[in-house]
């Protein structure tokens, strides 16, 4: 399908966001992004911003509370690998919509903002496809396991650029920078088989690219702080508001990746609850 200048940027994003079937959504995104990069789509602020009451995957995934999502254990078995891969596929799939929603919802920003979040969406599509193909090789597929919708909820609750950038890239995705090395460490200790090795190398690619997402979040969080004339320390107030139980002392942190992603030593010390940087 081709796009032309009569195709509106925001309307098309809304269509991609609300497309239920993963492969249809990805195909739509790919042709939209190709046209966008070729300069064929102008960003014209028309149409109202919709709030979504359910995630696009609600059409084919059974949504349960985060506590009742099947727990990943025994990564040496196919069943264990499927649960792990499904959980990651779901995070990546949710992240596609989150990146698209960042571009869709916040309007009138510099073109670089839209460039950044569409580039993130493209990364998330690739991450999803890499993980999904491993899942399919193991005889499963995305949608086969129950999922939670906490990423979607975080995105729909944060309605200002400032809060969105704090919560999604700078909190949720940043937490991923800490969590992925922990998963990798666990996997690397196990007797290695071909699938396990491929899961590990895929996770390393994802980890590496996620640093860039958090860095983009940092950039636009700083931009939003300037717009609102607030100090960057408002980050902690926002996180406290959305996650009142967030760990005041985070046990293990990927300090190198977080610094690369724009966190200051001052911030990392607050998150750790002690001087670590
Ligand atoms: Fe990702
Ligand atoms: Fe990401």
The mean predicted confidence, pLDDT, of the chain is 93
124 Cα to the center of ligand 2, angstroms: 6
Q: Nearest Cα to 162, choosing from 239, 267, 53?
A: 239
What CA–CA distance (Å, rounded) separates 7 from 42?
Answer: 8
What CA–CA distance (Å, rounded) separates 149 from 76?
Answer: 27
pLDDT on residue 213: 98
The bound ligand whose nearest atom lies closest to the alpha carbon of 214 is: 2
pLDDT on residue 71: 79
Judged by DSSP in three states, 63 sits in strand
106 Cα to the center of ligand 1, angstroms: 21
95 Cα to the center of ligand 1, angstroms: 6
pLDDT on residue 180: 96
pLDDT confidence of 6, banded at 50, 70, 90? low
CA 55 to chain centre: 14
The bound ligand whose nearest atom lies closest to the alpha carbon of 99 is: 2
155 Cα to the center of ligand 2, angstroms: 13
What CA–CA distance (Å, rounded) separates 266 from 258?
Answer: 12
Task: Summarize pLDDT for 24-52 with one digit per residue, the tens.
Answer: 999 999 999 999 999 999 888 877 899 99
Q: What is the pTM of this model?
A: 0.95
């Amino acid at each position: 399908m081709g796009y032309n200048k009569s195709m509106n940027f925001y309307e098309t994003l809304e269509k991609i966001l609300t497309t239920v079937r993963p492969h249809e959504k990805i195909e739509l995104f790919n042709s939209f992004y190709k046209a966008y990069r070729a300069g064929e789509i102008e960003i014209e602020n028309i149409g109202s911003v919709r709030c979504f009451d359910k995630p696009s995957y609600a059409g084919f995934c059974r949504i349960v509370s985060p506590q009742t999502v099947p727990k990943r254990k025994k990564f040496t078995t196919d069943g264990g690998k499927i649960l792990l891969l499904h959980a990651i596929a779901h995070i990546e799939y949710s992240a596609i919509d989150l990146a698209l929603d960042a571009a869709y919802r916040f309007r009138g920003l510099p073109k670089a903002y839209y460039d950044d979040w569409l580039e993130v969406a493209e990364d998330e599509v690739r991450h999803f496809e890499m993980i999904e193909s491993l899942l399919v090789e193991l005889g499963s597929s995305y949608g086969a396991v129950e999922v939670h919708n906490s990423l979607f909820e975080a995105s729909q609750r944060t309605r200002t650029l400032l809060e969105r950038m704090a919560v999604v890239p700078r909190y949720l995705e940043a937490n991923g920078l800490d969590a992925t090395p922990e998963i990798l460490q666990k996997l690397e200790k196990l007797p290695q088989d071909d699938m396990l090795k491929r899961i590990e190398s895929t996770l390393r690619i994802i980890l590496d690219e996620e640093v860039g997402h958090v860095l983009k979040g940092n950039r636009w969080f700083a931009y939003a702080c300037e717009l609102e004339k607030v100090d960057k320390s408002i980050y902690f107030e926002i996180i406290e508001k959305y996650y009142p139980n967030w760990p005041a002392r985070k046990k293990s942190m990927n300090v190198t990746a977080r610094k690369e992603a724009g966190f200051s030593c001052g911030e990392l010390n607050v998150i750790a609850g002690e001087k670590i940087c």
